[in-house]
């Protein structure tokens, strides 16, 4: 299956090497493709780990493995498989995860619980243990790979490799944060999105890292949607090696804690938008802001109702200034809203206010805005101080084609 590069794609940035992180890739040949599909990342002893995982009630064995290992707070390796999600595979799937963790642990001389595993691809096909072990053996002796190679290796229906970088000053030390992510469809998380991995040389206590990642997630990964579907494998993991030599961040009272939190949120925001830009078949990136709701949570649910509406998304794809579909999506959200207080804008143009079209409404500037690649929709409810911003993409024929041919 050949997929054209998204017109919303961004170039892969220059990511720094993170002290204590070594990335390698190999071919496990999970599918009949001529590319690497296994990423193996070694982490220095003492690396702290945190994570957010799918809210799906049918999670993969990899998600269950990470969920059990995360409370221990330490990591020595990450293994990511592309082309096979290993989800809904029963005991055979669990055995595959255990075998991968055991092999990497034996190579490093650590506990299996220090090895984190993630897989992405078709659901319902057990991950072949022989291919996984052979791929790992090849990775153990492979030359270190670039961040871009690692990002490309974890892709499935993605059309471009995704990475981001940021920095912060913590306790007088400049710390670096780098991240890679994959995701293109099945994106509507409650906790995380597809597979994303963040690495920093900051010294961070695992509990504080978990708090910071969870908080960052709520305003980033949990604010994007491509198609309204939540994956069985969604995983975001953050690893802190301590290589920068700063005093360990353990609470918000520590010097540099605010700066680290801001940098982590910025990195997660960058990664989340890259996924939305690569939505399957996407031609337009859509930002939806809801204000004046009774609470932030209510605003978020209304924004997601708009973002997940096929009618809204297809109207944007067709560059049709049909703001009535936004009214529909607000009304069906099940959240407090009053028709005669509702206001809607497209870009900077107000199209409706007080429950009806604005007087003298001219559709021309809205139509011009919809011809662009980046679209803004604003909703004002006039009920309170609640506010939320979410991101999605349009729904095109390309989405159908990609998913109809996914297993081909």
Q: Kindly state whether residue 4 falls inside one of the protein's structural domains.
A: no
Residue 9 in any domain: the answer is no
Q: Write down the pLDDT at residue 216.
A: 97
Q: Is 280 annotated as a binding residue?
A: yes
pLDDT tens digits for 69-102?
A: 999 999 999 999 999 999 888 999 999 999 999 9
pLDDT in tens, 94-149: 999 999 999 999 999 999 999 999 999 888 999 999 999 999 999 999 999 999 99
Q: Where are the alpha helices (DSSP H) in 189-295?
A: 206-218, 257-277
Longest dimension (CA), the chain: 73
| Angle of CA points 262, 264, 270, to nearest 5° | 100
Under DSSP, is residue 31 helix (H, G, I), strand (E, B) or coil? coil
User: Of 277, 294, 322, which closes a domain?
Assistant: 277
Instruction: State residue 121's pLDDT score.
Output: 86
Exposure on the CB side of residue 226, measured as CA atoms within 13 A: 29
**What DSSP assignment string belongs to 333-345?**
T-S---GGG-EEE
Contact 192, 70 (CB under 8 A): no
Q: Taking CA 121 as the corner, what is the angle to CA 67 and CA 113, rounded to the nearest 5 degrees?
A: 25
262 and 290 both lie in a single domain:
no
Q: Which two tokens stand for residue 347?
A: 């870009």
Residue 228 covered by a domain:
yes
Residues 247 and 360 occupy one common structural domain: no
d(CA 155, CA 225): 18
- Please indicate, yes or no, whether residues 207 and 273 belong to a single structural domain of this protein: yes
Question: Is 314 part of any known ligand binding site?
Answer: no
Query: Is there a single domain that holds both residue 264 and residue 349?
Result: no
CA distance 264 to 48: 15
User: Cα–Cα distances in Å, from 378 out to 37, 222, 286, 341?
Assistant: 41, 19, 11, 14
Instruction: Answer with the one of 227, 246, 277 that is the final residue of a domain.
Output: 277
CATH code, domain with 341: 3.10.20.340
- CA separation for the pair 246, 173 (Å, rounded): 6
Question: Are 51 and 87 contacting, i.e. CB atoms less than 8 angstroms apart?
Answer: no
Q: Is residue 132 situated within a structural domain?
A: yes
In order of 3, 146, 184, 308, 404, the CA distances from 224 in angstroms are 22, 27, 11, 10, 23
Residue 15 in any domain: the answer is no
Q: 165-185 b/e with 16+ CB inside 10 Å = b?
A: bbbbebbeeebbbbbbbbbbb
Residues 268, 346 share a domain: no
Final residue of a domain: which of 227, 258, 277? 277
Query: Is there a domain that residue 144 lies in?
Result: yes
CB atoms within 10 A of CB 360: 5
Phi first, then psi: what are they for 75, rounded to 5°? -145, 145
Predicted local confidence at residue 191, as pLDDT: 40
Pairing of strands 235-240, 173-182: unpaired
- 211 annotated among ligand-binding-site residues: no
Whether 228 and 333 map to the same domain: the answer is no
- 2: in domain: no
Residue 285 is encoded by which pair of tokens? 């990136």
Number of structural domains, the chain?
2
Phi, psi (deg, nearest 5) at residue 263: -65, -40
Contact, 291 vs 378, CB < 8 A? yes
pTM summary value: 0.93
Helices 257-277 and 206-218: crossing angle in degrees, nearest 10, is 50
Which among 39, 193, 225, 230 is annotated as catalytic?
Answer: 193
Instruction: For the chain, 408 residues long, give each residue's pLDDT as a single digit of tens.
Output: 456 899 999 999 999 999 999 999 999 999 988 999 999 999 999 999 999 998 778 889 999 999 999 999 999 999 999 999 998 889 999 999 999 999 999 999 999 999 999 999 888 999 999 999 999 999 999 999 999 999 999 998 899 999 999 999 999 999 999 999 998 654 455 543 479 999 999 999 999 999 999 999 999 999 998 866 666 778 999 999 999 999 999 999 999 999 999 999 999 999 999 999 998 778 999 999 999 999 999 999 999 999 999 999 999 999 999 999 999 999 999 999 999 999 999 999 999 999 899 999 999 999 999 999 999 999 999 999 999 999 999 988 766 766 666 444
Q: Is 403 annotated as a binding residue?
A: yes
Same domain, residue pair 248 and 326: no
Q: Which residues on adjacent β-strands are paired with residue 293?
A: 386
Buried residues in 336-356 as b, exposed as e (16+ CB within 10 A): ebeeeebbbbbbebbbbbeee
**What is the domain extent for residue 377?**
285-404
- Alpha carbon 250 to chain centroid distance? 26
Please say if 230 is a catalytic residue.
no
Determine contact, residues 136/38, Cβ cutoff 8 Å.
yes
Instruction: Say if residue 295 is in the same domain as residue 194.
Output: no
Is 271 found in the same domain as 300?
Answer: no
Residues 289/302, Cβ–Cβ less than 8 Å: no
Distance CA 290, CA 304 (A): 10
CATH classification of the domain holding 230: 3.60.70.12
Q: Do both 166 and 221 map to the same domain?
A: yes
3-state SS assignment for residue 118? strand
306 and 223 in a common domain: no
pLDDT at 187 (0 to 100): 46
Same structural domain, 77 and 113: yes
Is there a domain that residue 216 lies in? yes
Residues 222 and 189: beta-carbon distance below 8 Å: yes
Has 408 been labeled as part of a binding site? yes
């Amino acid at each position: 299956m050949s997929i054209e590069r998204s017109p919303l794609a961004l170039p892969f940035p220059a990511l720094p090497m993170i002290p204590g992180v070594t990335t390698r890739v190999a071919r496990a040949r999970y599918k009949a493709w001529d590319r690497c599909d296994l990423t193996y990342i070694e982490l220095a002893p003492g690396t702290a780990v945190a994570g957010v995982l799918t809210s799906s009630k049918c999670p993969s064995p990899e998600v269950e493995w990470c969920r059990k290992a995360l409370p221990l707070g330490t990591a020595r390796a990450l293994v990511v498989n592309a082309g096979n999600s290993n989800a809904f595979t029963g005991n055979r799937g669990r055995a595959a995860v255990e075998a991968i963790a055991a092999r990497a642990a034996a190579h490093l001389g650590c506990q299996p619980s220090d090895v984190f595993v993630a897989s992405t691809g078709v659901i319902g096909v057990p991950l072949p243990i022989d291919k996984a072990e052979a791929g790992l053996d090849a990775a153990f002796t492979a030359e270190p790979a670039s961040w871009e190679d690692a990002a490309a290796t974890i892709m499935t229906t993605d059309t471009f490799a995704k990475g981001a970088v940021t920095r912060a000053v913590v306790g007088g030390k400049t710390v670096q944060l780098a991240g890679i992510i994959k995701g293109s469809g099945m994106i509507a998380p409650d906790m995380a999105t597809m597979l994303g991995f963040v690495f920093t040389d900051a010294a961070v206590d695992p509990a504080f890292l978990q708090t910071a990642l969870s908080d960052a997630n709520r305003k980033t990964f949990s604010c994007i949607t491509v198609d309204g579907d939540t994956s069985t494998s969604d995983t975001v993991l953050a690893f802190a090696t301590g290589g920068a030599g700063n005093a360990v961040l353990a609470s918000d009272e520590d010097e540099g804690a605010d700066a680290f939190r801001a940098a982590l949120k910025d990195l997660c925001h960058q990664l989340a938008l890259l996924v939305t830009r690569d939505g399957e078949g996407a031609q337009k990136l859509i930002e939806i802001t809801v204000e004046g709701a009774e609470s932030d949570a209510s605003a978020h649910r209304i924004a997601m109702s708009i973002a997940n509406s096929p009618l809204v998304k297809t109207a944007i794809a067709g560059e049709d200034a049909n703001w009535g579909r936004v009214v529909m999506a607000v009304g069906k959200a099940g959240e407090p809203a009053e028709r005669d207080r509702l206001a809607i804008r497209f870009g900077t143009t107000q199209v409706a206010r007080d429950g009806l079209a604005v007087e003298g409404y001219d559709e021309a500037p809205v139509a011009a805005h919809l011809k662009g690649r980046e679209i803004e929709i604003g909703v004002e409810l006039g009920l309170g101080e609640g506010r939320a911003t979410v991101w999605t993409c349009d729904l095109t024929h390309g989405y159908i084609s990609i998913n109809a041919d996914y297993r081909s």
